[in-house]
Amino acid sequence: MDWLRREFLKKALISTGVLAVPPWRRALGRQGKPMMFQPAYLKLDQSGELAKRSEALWKILGECQLCPRGCKVKRLAGEVKICRSDRRLKIASVGPHFGEERPLVGRHGSGTIFFSQCNLRCCFCQNWEIAHRGDGRHLSFGQLADGMLDLQRRGCHNINLVTPTHFVPHIVRALRIAVSKGLRLPLVYNTGGYESLATLKLLDGIVDIYMPDFKFQDGKYSHRFCAEAKDYPQVAATAIAEMHRQVGVLQTDEQGIATRGLIIRHLVMPQNTAGTDRFVRWVAEKLSPKTYVNLMDQYHPAHQAGQHPELARRITAAEWAQVLKWARAVGLENLAS
Ligand code: SF4
């Protein structure tokens, strides 16, 4: 009887949202019985494919072409170029984060891992101490795996990999260790959007949730503001279309926690420098009006942004109102609130 009473109380607390449990324990089967949430990577691990992908990714570091910069430096031999990263994994922080999108945060937070350095290097970066200066410390794969497992133990709803692009081979190596020790959370690939199609293909079936930025629609701006990445608009469009193909629109469980799918972030900038009207139209026409889109109004001139007149102020209320009109006009149905 005690057991029945406890179960009744637990279900009541869960249904009212007072008690939240991570998705791998919360998901319910057809008869309402608990079942294990299955992150995408489990299948690949069981078939041996994850090990093959890990090897293929590690080889790329020999002459690095992990991202569209295609530097071809020998990172395994200690060479570095634009992302300033060699073979060693570097991480700034690991912990639950409550400032991310609501479907990622739930009640226990998104299990966020901030990687040091970046392949895009935007002059307005709000995390420039980590992304440009490279704050952080070198960790082993085992330590990264332990960090993932610790986030799971703390009840986080996902593993949120922030700026992961230049460390994808390291992440997949650590993932294999973590999976063997019981990791079952969905992976969130949280990126600036400057991604190589070849690397994304190797992540197919590993990542459950993609969360790219789509920053600029005009290469003139990405060239000026993001370390000469003139091809950013085309590259990001191709990459995000591939992410959409792999995981589709965002799916959530019965408590609104993301389990799979695409979230796109777009930082609205002064004088429509980010090309927001073109961005929302592209999403509605090329992906789906149901795409989960976070239009962000919090831009402020961080790092070196003050040196550029287009970036030297916050956006105005009128600019924000215009953005919302554009989004409504193209029929976007799933804007982050
Ligand atoms: S990951 Fe770094 S070294 Fe490799 S291609 Fe990109 S910027 Fe260059």
Cα–Cα dist 286/307, whole Å: 35
Q: Tens-of-pLDDT digits for all 337 residues of the chain? A: 444 454 444 444 444 444 445 554 544 344 444 456 899 999 999 999 999 999 999 999 999 999 999 999 999 999 999 999 999 999 999 999 999 999 999 999 999 999 999 999 999 999 999 999 999 999 999 999 999 999 999 999 999 999 999 999 999 999 999 999 999 999 999 999 999 999 999 999 999 999 999 999 999 999 999 999 999 999 999 999 999 999 999 999 999 999 999 999 999 999 999 999 999 999 999 999 999 999 999 999 999 999 999 999 999 999 999 999 999 999 999 999 6
Q: Which of 55, 122, 135 is nearest to 82 (CA)?
A: 122
Q: Is residue 21 part of a domain?
A: no
Instruction: With 0.85 as the threshold, say if the pTM is over it.
Output: yes
For ligand 1, atom 4, the nearest C-alpha belongs to 64
Structure tokens of 79? 């060479």
**Does any domain span residue 22?**
no
Residue with tokens 């950013």: 232
| DSSP code at position 287 | I
**Does residue 9 lie in a domain region?**
no
* CA of 98 relative to ligand 1 center, distance in Å: 30
Residue 267 within a domain: yes
Residue nearest to atom 2 of ligand 1 (CA): 83
Residue 199 Cβ inside 6 Å of ligand 1? The answer reads no
179 lies in which domain range? 28-335
With respect to residue 16, please indicate whether it lies within any of the assigned structural domains: no
Are the beta carbons of 119 and 69 closer than 8 angstroms?
A: yes
Q: Which residue has tokens 């193909």? A: 245
DSSP 28: B
- The number of domains in the chain is 1
The H-assigned helical ranges of the chain are: 2-15, 23-26, 41-47, 49-60, 102-105, 128-131, 141-153, 168-180, 197-203, 219-225, 232-247, 276-282, 317-329
Distance 10 CA to ligand 1 centre (A): 48
Does residue 112 lie in a domain region?
A: yes
Residue 2 included in any domain: no
Write the CATH number for 293. Answer: 3.20.20.70
Which residue's CA lies nearest to atom 8 of ligand 1? 71
C-alpha angle with apex 123: 242 to 312, nearest 5 degrees? 115
Residue at 303 is within a domain: yes
